[in-house]
Structure 1
Amino acid sequence: VWEQYRPARDETLIDQSRRRVELHVPDGQPDILQQVEHGVLQLVAQFDAVGHAIHGIVEPDVAQYTHLGDAASKTDGLIYDPALQPGQQAGGRSGDPDDRWAFTSKSSALNYGSIAALAAASRVLKDFRDPLAERSLAIAERVWAEEQSHAPDTFRHGNTTGGPLEVEQFTAAVELLITTRKPVYAAQVQSLWTQLDDPSGGALRTALRALPFMPAAFRSELETAARRWQADADETARANPYGVPIGTGGWAGSGQVIDYGLTAHALHQAFPDIVDGQGLMRAVDFIHGTHPGSDVSLVSGVGTVSKEVAYGSNRADFSYIAGGVVPGVLIIKPDFPENKEDWPFLWGENEYVINLGPSYIELMNAAEASQAAAR
């Protein structure tokens, strides 16, 4: 998003050294760069602590997991020391075992995903946090070399260990290529692309970003993929009145719709004679209320009527957090569209999904740029 659109919005004060955040207090720095910095600091800390990306940092018990009060009161903010009695505090330590647990099983897919994130972040943080940018790239290249030296660690657990190994590896190769321009990564991009099984969505957008750094023949391969995607998109547009893919699984499909819109836009930019790009605005319309079941916007605080009861940190108040994006309309078989307006605890309909936030930001920046170009 930063590299394409440069959103300079500054509405938050963030002081990493003091661990202080104040909403609605500008601090002279783009919020999106500070968000990137925050994530990179966590990833770098994982590699420093255990040598690889880890797949979870979560509550130590069910009581804390289901905690419904102020999130800041979940822990005492002190390091647990078993030598102390419960309730006892001394020297910045506490006898209460309320610290988060880190799950440190190694997964190559997760490592490659983190390589991609660090390589991309190193570009974004350049001239903003130069030492962190340099360290991010150094870790990304070192871990790539380490992963390439052995058979992959294939441990998987739910959605915590990255996507398919070959997709994560391809994404890492692309981000390293864009950042370093090294031929070794271009060769990996070409090799890994041929291994992907019918690439679409995020993998296809990733491949498009590699185009300026690849031989001309690579464009021909992507053109074939673009034609295949457009054929599928034409079928999708005929399948329902909304012209976007509507998932029918156990989790509603806002993410799938946003992914569709972003892919339509990216392919239109690269191959305007093949992909018309109209899927972008159909996705925007769907997310904001043009969907089955109701006309409620699935982004809290955005739209005339939007989600005002959702599963976030204030879920016990049956309230919402402005800007949160929910999965949305769940199709209950065979054909009943449901999105509860009075019950936040259905995750598959009403949970604020962290990665949908930045995806929505990218979608709206793309829509704004598209509309500006059309004027």
Structure 2
Amino acid sequence: MKTLLTGGLIWALSLVALAEDLELNEQGYFAKPGLNVTSFADIYPDGHQTGVTVIQHGVRRAANGDLRLEISPGQWSPVPKGVGDARVDVKNQRISQTLAYPDESKNRKGFNPIEYPDLEFTYQVHVEALTGDSFKVSVDLDKPLPEQWIGKVGFNFELFPGELFGASYLMDEQAGHFTTQPNGPIHNHHGEWLGEPLARGRKLVVAPERDMQRMLIEVRKGGELELWDGRTNHNNGWYIVRSTVPQGASKNAIEWVVTPHTVAGWQYQPVVQISQLGYGVKQQKIAVIEQDSRDTKASPATLLRMTSAGAKEVRQATPKPWGSFLRYHYLQFDFSDVTEPGMYQVAYRGVTSSPFKIGPDVYSRHAWQPTLEYYLPVQMCHMRVNEKYRVWHDKCHHDDALMSPVNYNHIDGYISGASTLTDYQPGQPVPGLNKGGWHDAGDYDLRVESQIGTTWLLAMMVEEFDLDYDTTMIDQAKQLVEIHQADGKNDALQQIEHGLLTVLGGYRNLGRLYRGIIVPTVRQYVMLGDAGAQTDNLIYDASLAEGEVKDGRSGVADDRWVFTEENPNRELDVVAGLAAASRVMRSYNPELAQESIDAAEALFAKAFVSADRIGVKAFALAELILTTDKQSYKDKLLAMQGDIVDKIDDTAWAIGRAVPQLNNVAFSKAIEAAVVEQQKNVQAQAAETPYGVPYRPHIWGAGWGIQEFGVKQYFVHKAWPEIASADIYANALNFVLGVHPGQNTESFASGVGSDSALVAYGVNRADWSYIPGGVISGTALIRPDLPELKEWPFFWQQSEYVMGGGATNYMFLVLAVEALETGD
């Protein structure tokens, strides 16, 4: 078959247009051109990412097919546990997974404890290939459900909403549209307040008018199909197709046949992956081209330069094959020797990239600056944040904070022991915690590690790159921030001050570090909107009646809780950040600088012996040495030589700047020899992918980890430039800016580059909006081999912003690569 592509390029392919059936492949899932069906290949039901999953024409359309106890489950709803691995039966073309309720590891325990009902049962979900595009899903229960659970337990199959808005559906004789917003009426369904089902019947056709998305679902056994809009219950819900388990049913309690339509001869369209921002003149410039795994032919790629007369061809060359990675075949188009400043595009088989810049000033504006101009100010807690006519949020959390309960497993990893570890009793107000800090992520809590992590990174930017930039007015006395209103002060130093105010405020008033500050209820935690509305800003007073207000005190206990912990490793991490911050704050705020180093040394004396992580012990010592030059710290670091060498991956980046101050030749040689071997491993990891960096996501997209990897490589390169390559941290930056796997090549940094993440999981996510300079977690891995980055504001594992590294690691990398370009 010959296909005529835009631009006049004719590309010939031999395609066999014969009907093909789904078959199990070597990766353990069902596949045919245009369709993949996986069954419990993934691990994250809380994030709509496991169960029976349909990938149609390269796009995940439906997922989480499994038994649920609710029509529209949320983040804290019960999910089953897998019992052993899935059984892949090649002979019978069938995958079977055993599951059970409850999951004891999550039942009222763990990072986010879930309350399971008094219901125990085991079941199997079977997926079996039929002819053509069809597959059968069936559910066997070990025994019939108790009477009280009939009508409540059902097989849920979730349809991703973001790509269905405006599409139609047909259910038997009924028809309708998938609406952009959830609509009423609202009724009580077994304790869930939901809308009515959009439709009921035996046969559902999803998006009948769209050949690339059309899917037929038929129920053979079990309750009739119901189509629900899960967003009426949870903002992050999906459309849900559901059948309830009938009374008395066990064997074959549910049986569906699902037929996603496939287009004959479909093949994955090539994707051109470039930095959406661009490249420095001296920088290596490699476009990565992603193709269908069956398509290993390389066609000519063209580099275009923008002129007043339109696009002008600069070069045409055949990209070099890189090989297979995940589910695709990859090529690389190297145009590193192109140095003429201007705007460019890369074209390949009729696909043209976004425009990007080549020039010595590519990072001088619109690159790292949005993070400092917008994202950090917007995240500032205890302040009112204005941007001209806009109020990002009002003054917030001035009632911080009540002492947390003891022996309590809260949400989001906040757990207290038998004591508050302070002189304060549970529920007692702790003064001095309503200053400084940044809201942590897509929520409003303050974690000590994210506060000090942000502070340390900003201090490094000031120290390493002389960062001095002023576009923001920050008034701590008035607790007011005005974006794009300069005040004659270095914004970076003002932000460091803001971080120190919360960390030292906790230390000063508690007599120790806080673990974190978080709201007491899930309802407050999931609140989206103005941070000033999360609490009433009045300090709770137990002596007042509920609703009573007196002298700035409130009878409503909506104040956040402050948690403490015994964690010497985390304390040493804070030691490092405080020591570094004290160096750069000496001229700007000498009193705060002195308090920082005093606290760092006191914390170190308490925590060093008890800590068991070599990396953080070396990190704390290195920063203390750089700040104080004390021999006692040098002696401790020298005494750790063997451990440092053994853990060189965790220590090299941290100690490199301090090694010259040790004046110890034997130590220096031992560390250098270890770094040589460590960098061989780093190079090997970078070579695993066509991107020059390792891509190993777990649940969250790999962007944050790759940025952190790049920042650490910068410090190793700085200390041992002949051993450690700068290309790796430049590649890490390019990955974040668009050179990453999958169809979506947007920059993870919102508002940076031609195409960027403009729908993100920030506190404004319900508005399908973004915060400039925020950096999302990025392309996730849908196991076993699909890279995915959807435009959807409720995927924390793909599009969440985060403090403590997400944005500031990115900012650091841009400054580091800019320094390579300028030679600074």
**Fold match by TM threshold 0.5:** yes
1:307 maps to 2:767? no
Greater displacement, 317-326 / 112-121: 112-121
Distance 1:147 1:313 in 2: 35
Contact preservation (8 Å) 2:653, 2:713: no
Secondary structure, counterpart of 1:365 in structure 2: helix
* Counterparts of 1:131 and 1:13, CA distance in 2: 21
Partner of 2:807: 357
Instruction: Assess if the C-alpha contact under 8 Å between 1:54 and 1:106 holds in 2.
Output: no
Q: Which amino acid letter does the alignment assign opposite residue 65 of structure 1? A: Y
Residue from 514, 521, 532 that aligns with 1:72: 532
State the distance in 1 between where 2:532 and 2:733 align: 34
Partner of 1:188: 636
Identify if the C-alpha distance between structure 1 residues 34 and 194 changes in structure 2 by more than 3 Å, giving closer, same or farther.
farther
* Higher deviation after alignment, 83-92 or 53-62: 83-92
The Cα offsets for residues 305-347 of structure 1, whole Å up to 9 and x where unpaired, read as 0001111110111111000011101112211001111x22221
Q: 1:165 to 1:264 in 2, by over 3 A?
A: closer
1:138-178 CA-partner distances (Å, limit 9, x unpaired):
11112222335xx62x7xxxxxxxxx633222211111111
Q: Is 1:232 aligned to residue 681 of structure 2?
A: yes
Q: Does 1:206 align with 2:633?
A: no
The 5 A counterparts of 1:160-175 are 165-175=613-623
For residue 244 of structure 1, what is the amino acid of its counterpart? V
* Equivalent runs, 1:112-151 vs 2, <5 Å: 112-148=572-608
Match of 2:571 in 1: 111
Describe the SS at the equivalent of 1:102: strand
Which protein is richer in strand relative to its size? 2
1:334 aligns with 2:784: yes
Shift of 1:34: 0.9
3-state SS of 1:22 partner: strand
Correspondence for 1:160: none
Q: Deviations over 1:53-109 (max 9, x none)?
A: 121111111111000121111111111112223332211111121111000122111
1:284 aligned residue (724, 733, 736): 733
The TM-score normalised by the length of structure 2 is 0.42
8 Å Cα contact 2:614/2:647 also seen in 1: no
Asked if 2 retains the 8 angstrom alpha-carbon contact of 1:46 and 1:53, the reply is yes
* Cα distance between partner residues in 1 of 2:618 and 2:714: 21
SS in 1 for 2:781: strand
The aligned residue for residue 30 of structure 1 is: 490
Please, which moves more after superposition, 104-113 or 192-201?
192-201
Q: CA–CA distance in 1 between the matches of 2:692 and 2:808? A: 23
Counterpart CA distance in 2 for 1:286 and 1:246 is 10
Could you tell me which runs of 5 or more consecutive residues in structure 2 were left unpaired when the two chains were aligned.
1-460
Between stretches 58-67 and 267-276, larger displacement belongs to 267-276
Other-structure match for 1:5: 465
- Decide whether aligned partners of structure 1 residues 193 and 15 sit closer, same or farther in structure 2, where only a CA change above 3 A counts: farther
How far apart are the structure 2 equivalents of 1:225 and 1:260?
18
Report the equivalent of 1:251: 700
CA deviations 1:210-259 (Å, max 9, x no partner) are 12211232321232232123211321232111110101311211122112
Q: Distance in 2 between the 1:265 and 1:56 partners?
A: 30
Distance in 1 (alpha carbons) for counterparts of 2:790 and 2:640? 42
Moved more, 187-196 or 99-108: 187-196
TM-score by length of 1: 0.91
**In the alignment, what sits opposite 1:49?**
509
Alpha-carbon distance in structure 1 between the residues aligned to 2:740 and 2:776: 13
Quick one: distance in 1 between partners of 2:777 and 2:652? 23
Give the structure 1 partner of residue 772 of structure 2.
Answer: 322
* Deviation string, structure 1 residues 10-41 (Cα, Å, up to 9, x no partner): 12111112211111111111111111111111
For the residue of structure 1 that corresponds to 2:468, the secondary structure is coil
Stretch deviating more after TM superposition (28-37 or 76-85)? 76-85
Cα distance in 2 for residues equivalent to 1:144 and 1:276 = 33
Which structure carries more helix by proportion? Answer: 1
Please, which runs of 5 or more residues in structure 1 have no aligned partner? 155-163
Aligned residues: 360
Counterpart residue identity of residue 636, structure 2:
Q
SS at match of 1:209: coil
Partner of 1:176: 624
Q: What is the percent sequence identity of the aligned residues? A: 38
Q: Distance in 1 between matches of 2:506 and 2:786?
A: 44
State how far apart, in whole Å, the 1-side matches of 2:530 and 2:719 are.
47
1:347 correspondence with 2:796: yes
Deviation at 1:193, TM superposition (A): 4.6
Match for 2:539: what amino acid?
I
Deviates more, 1:5-14 or 1:261-270: 261-270
Larger radius of gyration: 2
| CA distance in structure 1 between the partners assigned to 2:754 and 2:773 by the alignment | 14
Which consecutive aligned stretches of 4+ in structure 1 deviate over 6 angstroms post-superposition? Answer: none
Q: What is the CA distance between 1:133 and its match in structure 2?
A: 0.7
TM-superposition CA deviations, 1:255-292 (whole Å, max 9, x none): 22112322333333332322232112211111100100
CA distance in 2 between counterparts of 1:23 and 1:5 reads 23
